[in-house]
Amino acid sequence: MAGMKTATGDYIDSSWELRVFVGEDDPEAESVTLRVTGESHIGGVLLKIVEEIKRKQDWSDHAIWWEQKRQWLLQTHWTLDKYGILADARLFFGPQHRPVILRLPNRRALRLRASFSQPLFQAVAAICRLLSIRHPEELSLLRAPEKKEKKKKEKEPEEELYDLTKVVLAGGVAPALFRGMPAHFSDSAQTEACYHMLSRPQPPPDPLLLQRLPRPSSLLDKTQLHSRWLDSSRCLMQQGIKAGDMLWLRFKYYSFFDLDPKTDPVRLTQLYEQARWDLLLEETDCTEEEMMVFAALQYHINKLSQSGEVGETAGTDLGLDDLDAALNNLEVKLEGSASTDVLNNLTTIPELKDHLRIFRPRKLTLKGYRQHWVVFKETTLSYYKSQDEAPGDPIQQLNLKGCEVVPDVNVSGQKFCIKLLVPSPEGMSEIYLRCQDEKQYARWMAGCRLASKGRTMADSSYASEVQAILAFLSLQRTGGGGSGNHPQGPDASAEGLNPYGLVAPRFQRKFKAKQLTPRILEAHQNVAQLSLSEAQLRFIQAWQSLPDFGISYVVVRFKGSKKDEILGIANNRLIRIDLAVGDVVKTWRFSNMRQWNVNWDIRQVAIEFDEHINVAFSCVSASCRIVHEYIGGYIFLSTRERARGEELDEDLFLQLTGGHEAF
Amino acid sequence: MGESNDDIDQMFSNLLGEMDLLTQSLGVDTLPPPESKPPRAEFNYSVGFKDLNESLNALEDQDLDALMADLVADISEAEQRTIQAQKESSQNQHHPASVEVPDFSGAAALSYGANVTAISVSQYENDLPPPPADPMLNLPLPPPPPEPLSQEEEAAQAKADKIKLALEKLKEAKVKKLVVKVHMNDNSTKSLMVDERQLARDVLDNLFEKTHCDCNVDWCLYEIYPELQIERIFEDHENVIEVLSDWTRDTENKVLFLEKEEKYAVFKNPQNFYLNNKGRKEGKETNEKMNAKNKESLLEESFCGTSIIVPELEGALSLKEDGKKTWKRRYFLLRASGIYYVPKGKTKTSRDLACFIQFENVNIYYGIQCKMKYKAPTDYCFVLKHPQIQKESQYIKYLCCDDARTLNQWVMGIRIAKYGKTLYDNYQRAMARAGLASRWTNQSTVSTAPPATSAAPSTGLKTSTPQANGQIPQAAHSVSAVLEEAQRHVETTKDKKPALGNQGPGAPEVHQLPKSSLPPPPPVRRSSDVCSSPATAARARGLGGGFPAPPEDSLPPPPPPPPLDEDELPPPPPDFHDAPPDFVPPPPPSFAGDVGSALPPPPPPPPAPEAARPPRVALKRPPAPPKRKESPGPAVGGGSGEQDFMSDLMKALQKKRGNMS
């Protein structure tokens, strides 16, 4: 009906010409011109466009983007008039899903198709579904930081880019598992590899790279990251993202609901990776002791993931051990123990007997190591002047239960000492055992560790403990003496691991590698029995226990204040922090919050707490929308406990985090 | 029959006393149980048993078993004879083997019963992989393990290995029991049997039964070191024997049973610990009040997340360490990973902190009167030391706070950092216990009301004294017990049960238990007692006694509980008067003692799985006859005798009951 002409070729109805570009918003794109009227429905226009193009193609994902208004025309039953579209509108007919490159929490890059037309919240939910990460509400996308061109020279190696753009996910139902992974990953070797990348921890980074990566040197630096969060209530297109852009996918809200190692391999791994990088890049500070634990866990996790022990294995359960395991263990012990006649009598507990050099530090004496005949049985260590005197009374007998075992090892120096701090009613007695070589050391060390926990060498974990110690020593041998510049291929074995890759760079400066290794080794003994997912969970828990964990920093200016300050946003509170000193000035808890408002015009956030406490500030480093969204997001996340279930109350989220359509 | 209950209990209490005396006097010639012979009246315990433990344990068991066997043989003469038996058995320590027999099958922690006899075939099979297990099954059970071992030695290596493993497990499964003297807050003491697997929670439950206390969450076991002037609350999940095993033989240390509001202060007023330091700048030092809902959400936030939150705590404290006499003032910070301090000239940012101590190997104690003893700046001190250290040592660290409030914050903070979620679990369990206790008082009055006439006196009893609380709530620990209870009060329950669900502490408890690693031993066992063995006896009782127990009889099998309860109430008249005042006040324990707990009235209920029960009875019967021959002389065959003593006891009791009715 539209497009009736007179004989002269003039149109006589109210129709007009509408030009629509085909493709993404590229001014050079081909275009089609339609005749439409104000009453034309968007659906009809879409049909016409497709007719005009005359190409066979699946157009179902295409929609019209109105460039000037930065808006998708998704309501197909709306008329052009209702949208207010006139002939001058620049419209683009393009796909709603476009490829982007995601930088995952594990720092790997992944190409996939993301929705450019849905609010980001939904787009992220879809991405997470594809990646099989539960609870997508905890994640969001950031713009990638501006690249500093001068630094990125040609020599940057071509990085592996995983591609999931071709994977199509059936809507609605949760993806079924197939061959141990969500079915949509098992289509090809390529996607399978991608799933492994997602669900398995990455090897430690090259220490040199680690040193090069930017690290925040102050609180102010830590605020930078948070200015880049995208807006959850608007779509990618509206936020100026183009197809092929790089975006970061990160856990945004530090409130991890219902972490389940069994159902969440990808989520757990990515969270672990984010935590690891957070610590390695010193975004979250920790103490030296804590860093050693983190390093030990990383080492352990890496070792397990390299060896392919992804399943729940390592965990050994006292008392209910599988018979086979116990028997294997016994065999190892039979072969490995220092004196093979030990087990002649089957009723005895396995024991170690050997010549060791012993040193007991005492006040005012400087005696060195003395050779003794040492017998280690059950949890008791006895030593004698010589083997001949063994049947008699020992010089000293120490029950190692509850003792502290500290390795004192230098592989290159061929020093294998075990320092024992043995408690007794009178205090602690300190004693050093010096072993001849790694093997001897590993056996005795494993025995000491078990004994300190009240277990004997008959325990099934003894053999694995010995192995773990040997493996760790080899770490020192290869990584220890080097300059810290060890080639770090993806297939780097545990042996070639560099301890510098496990700790934040400031510890690289503080310690030599050979000092670092024993410290990590010491911490490792407490985690050596964990399975992969247990270790990851432990890592995450230790990370969460840090006082500075989960605080997102923003520079703000409080109302009535003349200087900038930092606002820290955590999952349960807001923290006012002195910008210069870093001291906490004041804390407000969300649980006391009555309401918060955003004045979009003057970019001010006003919050009212119980007892008529009012706080107002304007945001400096990030838009107040980001602060607003953080607060609303945490409030939203705190409602999850009650209404348990996988279903997301998206409206509530958008209500809490959005609410600024006007601006 | 009610009498017999009390008899047993009474006797046992006497026996315990006797044993105390006896062991004290014995002390010289026998190396055996240094534990059971208290060097001082204080506390019968000493270290060192780890080395000696084999014979010692055996002896312990035999002691008891012998005692029990005697009780069975002739209840009226039990007292005298048990003393004899005790002597005999103590001389006769060389039968560890027989004791081990049951242990063997009980490789899993599950089946240890009070007298170590609990055996269940099904369990056994579960523990060891079927095929290899078969040969062993035959071996160990009848003969003492050592011998068959030597025979097997020549056999194939594989077989030998298996035996080896079995022995290993056997060792693990060995159960020690000690008599522990607990000091009450009224300066009296109570001796009770504690087996090595019991946690402080179990012992508390046991003490609740024995005392008239209100079971609130503040009750705790408390260890004090007079010599070091330090003291500490036992955490409910701690293994009591393990803690005590660190004490020296001649120790003056004591275990107290008292109320300490510090025990769970953080859960009652989390704001004092979690919100306190915030707003310091504004000088707000008031104990803010907080409404229950906010407290709950604060606790949930702090203890129920993926990881717990340790209270933010920092400040200047005075430190005395390395055996020095002086106190140094330093700025300390508490973190989940330990206590840190700010080195001189550094800031308190994470990267500058130096580690002062980590918590794996130390316990936290209150220091008492440190001002006087060590010239501390104040008396608000806490002490960190390895649990095994018992004397003054440079390895003990003393920290002194400015005021009591700070002290409490540090101590609680350190406990949270050290124990984590366990602390919260403990609290919830304690709450459930307390909640059920108070609830029970109410319910018992209601439920006993109907049988008006005869029950009248008992109702009065129950309400007037809190005795009833002592035991019954314990049964309610487990779900099954709760259900039973519900059944029992068929008429009244309908509305009661929901009430239980709603009850703050009660409800979480039910869910909590499975998760927590702590076995809820007492309850389970009790309920199983009630269900299985006593069933017949109970019924007989109900009928014979002519007690007002009409409804019960009509109830299906599980009802055993009802009869028990009901006729326990009625009998009170005779029953109660007979009861010796000191020990048996709470009828509950007594009734337990009458049937199921023929085993061990006093040793607090060990966690025998419900499933284990029935099979056990069945199992025991067959072997009974042969063993019996040995049992006459309880002293001789203490170990083997114990196998059937239970059935004997049952029979005896039934007979007695029969007579009575």
A340: exposed, middle or buried (Cβ count in 10 Å: 0-12, 13-18, 19+): exposed
A118: exposed, middle or buried (Cβ count in 10 Å: 0-12, 13-18, 19+): buried
Q: How many Å apart are CA B25 and CA A293, to the nearest integer?
A: 53
Residue B258 has pLDDT above 80, yes or no: yes
Q: How many Å apart are CA B515 and CA A286, to the nearest integer?
A: 31
Q: Say how many residues make up chain A.
A: 663
Contacts 24+ apart (CB under 8 A), B75-83: B75/B4, B75/B7, B75/B8, B75/B11, B75/B652, B75/B656, B78/B7, B78/B11, B79/B11, B79/B14, B79/B15, B79/B18, B82/B11, B82/B15, B82/B18, B83/B18, B83/B22
B294 and A288: CB-CB below 8 Å? Answer: no
Residue B94 confidence (pLDDT):
43
As a whole number, mean pLDDT of residues B121-135 equals: 37
Determine contact: A346 vs chain B, CB below 8 A.
yes
Determine contact: A586 vs chain B, CB below 8 A.
yes
B323: exposed, middle or buried (Cβ count in 10 Å: 0-12, 13-18, 19+): exposed
As a whole number, mean pLDDT of residues A38-66 equals: 88
pLDDT, tens digit, for every residue of B214-243?
A: 888 899 999 999 999 999 999 999 999 888
A424 and B349: CB-CB below 8 Å? Answer: no
B389 and A424: CB-CB below 8 Å? Answer: yes
Determine contact: A4 vs chain B, CB below 8 A.
no
Largest CA distance in chain A: 127
Residue A99 has pLDDT above 80, yes or no: yes
Determine contact: A289 vs chain B, CB below 8 A.
yes
A542 and B336: CB-CB below 8 Å? Answer: yes
Half-sphere exposure of A197 (CA within 13 A, CB side): 22
Residue B85 has pLDDT above 90, yes or no: no
Residue B237 confidence (pLDDT):
93
- Residue by residue, DSSP assigns B533-598 as THHHHHHHHHHHHT-S-HHHHHS-SS-SHHHHHHHHSSSHHHHHHHS-TTT--SHHHHHHHHTGGG
Residue A239, number of CB atoms within 10 A of its CB: 14
Percent of residues, chain A, with pLDDT higher than 90? 23
CA pseudo-torsion sign A398, A316, A350, B33: positive
Task: Report the range out of A15-29, A118-132, B577-591 with the highest average pLDDT.
Answer: A118-132
A425 and B389: CB-CB below 8 Å? Answer: yes
pLDDT, tens digit, for every residue of A59-98?
A: 888 999 998 888 999 999 999 999 998 888 888 898 999 9
As a whole number, mean pLDDT of residues B268-290 equals: 63
B306 and A256: CB-CB below 8 Å? Answer: yes
- Which residue among B109, B165, B350 places its CB closest to the CB of A327? B165
Q: What share of chain A is helix, strand, coil (3-state, %, to 5)?
A: 35, 25, 40
A591 and B298: CB-CB below 8 Å? Answer: yes
As a whole number, mean pLDDT of residues B190-217 equals: 87
Q: How confident is the model at residue B319 (pLDDT cuts 50, 70, 90)?
A: very high
Residue A536 confidence (pLDDT):
93
B237: exposed, middle or buried (Cβ count in 10 Å: 0-12, 13-18, 19+): middle
Question: Which of A335, A428, A548, A641 to mutate against chain B (most B CBs within 10 Å)?
Answer: A428
Residue A576 confidence (pLDDT):
93
As a whole number, mean pLDDT of residues A612-622 equals: 90
B128 and A289: CB-CB below 8 Å? Answer: no
Residue A366 confidence (pLDDT):
65
Lowest mean pLDDT among A327-336, A434-443, B99-108, B153-162: B99-108
Q: Which residues, listed in sequence order, are joined to residue A430 by a DSSP beta bridge?
A: A421
Residue B356 confidence (pLDDT):
94
pLDDT, tens digit, for every residue of B363-416?
A: 999 999 999 899 999 999 999 999 989 988 888 999 999 999 999 999 999 999
Q: In 3-state terms, what secondary structure has residue A662?
A: coil
Question: What element of type H or E holds B650?
Answer: helix B638-660
Q: For residue B121, how far is the Cα from the chain centroid? A: 26
* B 137-166 residues inside an 8 A Cβ radius of A: 146, 149, 152-153, 158, 160-165
Q: How confident is the model at residue B358 (pLDDT cuts 50, 70, 90)?
A: very high
Residue A541 confidence (pLDDT):
92
Determine contact: B361 vs chain A, CB below 8 A.
yes
Q: How confident is the model at residue A643 (pLDDT cuts 50, 70, 90)?
A: low
Q: How many Å apart are CA B13 and CA B206, to the nearest integer?
A: 14
As a whole number, mean pLDDT of residues A36-48 equals: 90
- Which residue among B298, B351, B360 places its CB closest to the CB of A506? B351
Do residues A389 and A377 make contact, with C-beta atoms less than 8 angstroms apart?
A: no
Residues in B touching A544 (Cβ below 8 Å): 305-307
Q: How confident is the model at residue A652 (pLDDT cuts 50, 70, 90)?
A: confident
**Among all residues of chain B, which has the CA nearest to that of A327?**
B161
- Nearby residues of A82 by Cβ (< 8 Å), 6 or more positions away: A75
Question: What element of type H or E holds A495?
Answer: none
Residues in A touching B350 (Cβ below 8 Å): 285-287, 290, 546-548
**Among all residues of chain B, which has the CA nearest to that of A285?**
B350
Residues in A touching B107 (Cβ below 8 Å): 319
Tell me the one-letter amino acid at A547. P
Residue B426 confidence (pLDDT):
93
* A 451-490 residues inside an 8 A Cβ radius of B: 458
Do residues A318 and A448 make contact, with C-beta atoms less than 8 angstroms apart?
A: no
How far A588 CA lies from chain B's nearest CA (Å)? 8
How far A384 CA lies from chain B's nearest CA (Å)? 19
Do residues A413 and A438 make contact, with C-beta atoms less than 8 angstroms apart?
A: no
Mean predicted lDDT score pLDDT of chain A: 81
- Which residue among A320, A506, A582 places its CB closest to the CB of B127? A320
Mean predicted lDDT score pLDDT of chain B: 61
Lowest mean pLDDT among A93-102, A578-587, B643-652: B643-652
Q: How many Å apart are CA A166 and CA A99, to the nearest integer?
A: 10
Task: Report the range out of A583-587, B223-227, B608-612 with the highest average pLDDT.
Answer: B223-227
Radius of gyration of chain A (CA): 32
As a whole number, mean pLDDT of residues A574-587 equals: 89
Q: Where are the alpha helices (DSSP H) in B420-516?
A: 421-448, 452-464, 467-475, 479-488, 490-502, 506-515
Residue A521 confidence (pLDDT):
80
Do residues B492 and B446 make contact, with C-beta atoms less than 8 angstroms apart?
A: yes
Residue B17 confidence (pLDDT):
58
Q: How confident is the model at residue A395 (pLDDT cuts 50, 70, 90)?
A: confident
Residue B224 confidence (pLDDT):
93
**Among all residues of chain A, which has the CA nearest to that of B250?**
A425
Has this prediction a pTM greater than 0.80?
Answer: no
Among B519, B403, B423, B527, CA closest to B473: B527
How far B412 CA lies from chain A's nearest CA (Å)? 17
Residue A388 confidence (pLDDT):
82
A428 and B128: CB-CB below 8 Å? Answer: no
A399 and B50: CB-CB below 8 Å? Answer: yes
Residue B62 has pLDDT above 70, yes or no: no
In terms of pLDDT, which residue wins out, A318 or A357? A357
Determine contact: A544 vs chain B, CB below 8 A.
yes
Residue A338 confidence (pLDDT):
40
B162 and A327: CB-CB below 8 Å? Answer: yes
Do residues A4 and A12 make contact, with C-beta atoms less than 8 angstroms apart?
A: yes
As a whole number, mean pLDDT of residues B271-280 equals: 68
Task: Report the range out of A529-543, B138-152, B536-550, B627-641 with the highest average pLDDT.
Answer: A529-543
B169 and A319: CB-CB below 8 Å? Answer: yes
As a whole number, mean pLDDT of residues B634-656 equals: 50
A426 and B389: CB-CB below 8 Å? Answer: yes
Q: How far apart are the first and last CA of chain A?
A: 39
Tell me the one-letter amino acid at B12. F
Number of CB pairs < 8 Å for A and B? Answer: 142
- Which residue among B108, B310, B361 places its CB closest to the CB of A320? B108
B515: exposed, middle or buried (Cβ count in 10 Å: 0-12, 13-18, 19+): exposed
Residue B51 confidence (pLDDT):
39
**Among all residues of chain B, which has the CA nearest to that of A377?**
B51
* B 191-250 residues inside an 8 A Cβ radius of A: 246, 248
Among A53, A17, A13, A46, CA closest to A33: A17
Percent of residues, chain B, with pLDDT higher than 90? 20
Report how far apart, in Å, the C-alpha atoms of B506 and of each of A388, B213, B484, B503 are: 64, 19, 16, 5
In terms of pLDDT, which residue wins out, A329 or B477? A329
How far A318 CA lies from chain B's nearest CA (Å)? 10
As a whole number, mean pLDDT of residues B183-210 equals: 88
A319 and B294: CB-CB below 8 Å? Answer: no
* B 621-650 residues inside an 8 A Cβ radius of A: none
Residue B325 has pLDDT above 50, yes or no: yes
Question: If you search the block for the tokens 């220092």, which residue do you land on?
Answer: A338
Q: In 3-state terms, what secondary structure has residue B16?
A: helix
A428 and B338: CB-CB below 8 Å? Answer: no
Q: What share of chain B is helix, strand, coil (3-state, %, to 5)?
A: 55, 10, 35
* A 92-111 residues inside an 8 A Cβ radius of B: none
Do residues A569 and A634 make contact, with C-beta atoms less than 8 angstroms apart?
A: yes
Determine contact: A414 vs chain B, CB below 8 A.
no
